[in-house]
Amino acid sequence: MALPHGCLNADFIIGGSYKYTRGGPGACWLAIHPRHLDRHQPELVTLDTGWIARREPFAFARGVTERAGDGNAWMESTPMVLSVYQARAGLELTLAIGVERLREYNLRQQAFLIRQLQAVGVHVREIHPRGAFVLIPTDDVKRDVARIAGQKVVTDGRPGASGRGGHVRLCPDLLTTEAEMVQAAQRIAHALRP
């Protein structure tokens, strides 16, 4: 979803580039509205920072030190360069293709996968508007995710709000083919048979 930061007037926006844009673990970010950074003594500060959050990170001074006067004041530790570098290529791909085109393609993939699942008798939760996931209702998330994993299909699950039941989640990747989705639907149906 394309979302201009300024339109929200949000204090903070947290995001990640580790899934859809192909970054690795640690490719996440925190955007802080400048109104919280443009003060000598900001009202909002993080309670936990690392050495790189200091005004002079390479001074290696012991004890309490002054924080950086910009977004670095919120840094934890040494940035995970590999994850960020990997995410950069994914972001470039996303921008080259276009967020709207990717979203339309993902919705077509989901519709195809849903038809395949329904054709083999797997119930799918209908949600409108759709997010990025196809949801399969279940009364035991851990069991069903494990069964599906046993069929070599990568998925995950989320428990229901009450802690009982929940959903197995499927999210076709940009590179997932229709043949792979047909095969995944068949394997999921096999895994979920009583």
pLDDT in tens, 57-70: 777 777 777 777 77
In terms of domains, do 133 and 109 share one? yes
C-beta of residue 5 within 8 angstroms of C-beta of residue 11: no
Does residue 24 fall inside a structural domain? Answer: yes
Does residue 56 fall inside a structural domain? Answer: yes
In terms of domains, do 73 and 110 share one? no
Most confident of 49-53, 90-94, 140-144: 140-144
pLDDT of residue 159: 92
In this predicted structure, the answer to whether residue 151 has a pLDDT above a threshold of 80 is yes
Does residue 23 fall inside a structural domain? Answer: yes
C-beta of residue 44 within 8 angstroms of C-beta of residue 11: yes
Average pLDDT over residues 135-156: 96
Q: What is the pLDDT of residues 25-40, one digit of tens each?
A: 777 778 878 777 766 6
pLDDT higher for 54 or 157?
157
In terms of domains, do 115 and 92 share one? no
In terms of domains, do 72 and 38 share one? yes
pLDDT of residue 73: 76
The whole domain housing 172 covers: 99-192
pLDDT higher for 31 or 102?
102
Distance CA 95, CA 75 (A): 26
In this predicted structure, the answer to whether residue 1 has a pLDDT above a threshold of 60 is no
Instruction: Map tokens 């395949």 to a residue.
Output: 116
C-beta of residue 166 within 8 angstroms of C-beta of residue 144: no
Specify the 3-state DSSP secondary structure of 129. coil
pLDDT higher for 29 or 167?
167
In terms of domains, do 35 and 117 share one? no
Percentage of residues of the chain with pLDDT beyond 70: 88
In this predicted structure, the answer to whether residue 71 has a pLDDT above a threshold of 90 is no
pLDDT higher for 25 or 15?
15
pLDDT of residue 41: 60
Helices (H), 58-177: 81-97, 99-119, 141-150
C-beta of residue 148 within 8 angstroms of C-beta of residue 188: yes
Average pLDDT over residues 11-22: 77
Does residue 17 fall inside a structural domain? Answer: yes
Q: Return the closest-CA partner of residue 36 out of 8, 9, 2, 64.
A: 9
In this predicted structure, the answer to whether residue 22 has a pLDDT above a threshold of 80 is no
User: Phi then psi for 80, rounded to 5 degrees?
Assistant: -85, 90
